[in-house]
Amino acid sequence: MDSQGKERQLGKRLERGGEGEIYALRDRPDVIVKWYYPEVLDKRGEELHRKVEAMRGLRDAHMTRDVCWPLIRVFDQQQRWIGFAMYRARGVKMSFLAHALLYQRYFPGLDRRRVVGYLIRFVEIVQQLHDAGVCIGDYNLNNVFCVPSSDQVTLIDCDSYQLRVGGTFYPCPVGSPDMTPKEHQGVSFRHVVRTPRSEAFSLAIVLFKCLMLGRHPYDIVGGDDPVRNLRRGNFAYGRGQRDVPQGVWYELWRELPETIRDMFVTTFTVGADAPIQRATLSQWHVALSEYREAMAAGEHAVQLATPGRPQRSQVLYAR
């Protein structure tokens, strides 16, 4: 039931997440409903309801288009709050775009111009959220949808976002160590306060993964897991080029404009320890826009290197 007490029919279940299930709304294919599991509602129902209400208060015309923001409250037949309805995102998960073997299947004809186009849109949406006092916190390429036929980008799973409304702070209680800056590692995410600088670090990882077809910036040869490398600021590319994974990865890296490479190097080496050194969202926006213009002017290669045809010479870069 919606808040007017009108009964709505749920369509088929689309997704089962950690906290609840996503259903289509029958007769309204553009609307979906998030229904929290009973045990989640028992434990944190009130808290969730308050947060979702605060989010509903924040919505504006821009947000509803670019992020799947909670729009309508949903109740069960006993008038108990069970979740919310939102617009359904169109497109394909960014994790398929940032995937050396799968991008061609899900994004036919993808080239660097289009990758950069999605990334510029992504940065703009995050900037728009930051302007509204909202931080994403839990960066996850499965939660960013890109429409293959256009440069449209939509963010989903927004109810975990960190926000501050009317003096109340709502944390982002979840996160992934691989996408989290050093200063927030090893702390319960529930107690973390994300900042534009911490967001800039996670965002740079998203940008790197897309431009590098799925490589994590802290994947290194002979190395530990990405999180340990992240904590040490052990970034293999850039100056010295030590321990870059075998394959086309160095070639992909070398194709990037120097400005962008420098911003990655700074963010992932000194910036791992010193948040102030990290490239900001507006710097990324400028650099990516310039990159797109340079590609349009024919100054940079547009096609993406294709893994799968290993060349001996590339192995040498890794040594």
Partner 1 sequence: MATYRLNRDSDLIDNPSPRCACMLVLDTSASMFGQPIRELNAGVQAFISAIQEDDMAACSVELGVITAGGKVTEQLPFTTAMNISQCRQFTASGLTPLGSAMELALDRLEERTAAYRKAGVAYYQPWLVVISDGVPTDQWQAASVRARTLAQQRKLVVMPVGVEEADLDALSAFSTRPAKRLDGLKFREFFLWLSASMSRVSASSSTTDQVKLPPTDSWDSI
Question: Smallest distance from the beta carbon of 190 to partner 1, in angstroms?
Answer: 15
110-149 residues near partner 1, rule: CB under 8 A: 139-142
Q: How far is CA 271 from the centre of its chain?
A: 19
Burial 21-34 (b: 16+ CB within 10 A, else e): bbbbbeeeeebbbb
Burial group, residue 263, by CB count within 10 angstroms (0-12, 13-18, 19+): buried
Question: Smallest distance from the beta carbon of 309 to partner 1, in angstroms?
Answer: 8
Query: What are the structure tokens assigned to 278, written together?
Result: 């990290």
Q: Does 96 bind partner 1 (CB under 8 A)?
A: yes
The three-class DSSP label of residue 19 is coil
Which one among 49, 247, 267, 269 touches partner 1, defined by CB under 8 A?
247
Q: Does 217 bind partner 1 (CB under 8 A)?
A: no
Q: Does 207 bind partner 1 (CB under 8 A)?
A: no
Which one among 213, 256, 287, 288 touches partner 1, defined by CB under 8 A?
213
Q: Does 236 bind partner 1 (CB under 8 A)?
A: yes
230 closest CA partner among 240, 219, 239, 244: 219
Which one among 18, 109, 240, 298 touches partner 1, defined by CB under 8 A?
18
Stretch that binds partner 1, among 62-70, 84-92, 274-282, 304-312 (CB under 8 A): 304-312
Q: Does 308 bind partner 1 (CB under 8 A)?
A: yes
**Count of residues near partner 1 by CB under 8 A:** 41
Stretch that binds partner 1, among 78-86, 276-284, 294-302, 307-315 (CB under 8 A): 307-315
Stretch that binds partner 1, among 109-117, 126-134, 193-201, 239-247 (CB under 8 A): 239-247
Question: Smallest distance from the beta carbon of 219 to partner 1, in angstroms?
Answer: 5
Query: What are the structure tokens assigned to 137, written together?
Result: 């916190």
Q: Does 100 bind partner 1 (CB under 8 A)?
A: yes
Q: Does 184 bind partner 1 (CB under 8 A)?
A: no
Q: Does 225 bind partner 1 (CB under 8 A)?
A: yes
| Euclidean distance between CA atoms 184 and 172, whole angstroms | 12
Q: Does 216 bind partner 1 (CB under 8 A)?
A: yes
Question: Smallest distance from the beta carbon of 141 to partner 1, in angstroms?
Answer: 7
Structural contact between residues 162 and 180, judged by C-beta atoms closer than 8 angstroms: no
Contacts 24+ apart (CB under 8 A), 302-308: 302/111, 302/112, 302/113, 303/111, 303/112, 304/103, 304/110, 304/111, 304/112, 304/115, 304/213, 304/252, 305/213, 305/248, 305/251, 305/252, 305/255, 306/248, 307/100, 307/101, 307/213, 307/247, 307/248, 308/101
Question: Smallest distance from the beta carbon of 83 to partner 1, in angstroms?
Answer: 19
Query: By rule CB under 8 A, what string of x and - marks binding of each residue 262-301 to partner 1?
Result: ----------------------------------------
List, edge to edge, every strand of the sheet that includes 134-135. Answer: 134-135, 162-165, 168-170
Question: Smallest distance from the beta carbon of 165 to partner 1, in angstroms?
Answer: 27
Write the DSSP symbol of residue 142: G
Question: Smallest distance from the beta carbon of 71 to partner 1, in angstroms?
Answer: 26
| Euclidean distance between CA atoms 118 and 113, whole angstroms | 9
| Euclidean distance between CA atoms 203 and 283, whole angstroms | 12
Which one among 10, 37, 71, 95 touches partner 1, defined by CB under 8 A?
95
Q: Which residues bind partner 1 (CB under 8 A)?
A: 18, 95-96, 99-102, 105, 139-142, 176-179, 213-216, 219-227, 236, 243-247, 249, 307-308, 310, 315, 318
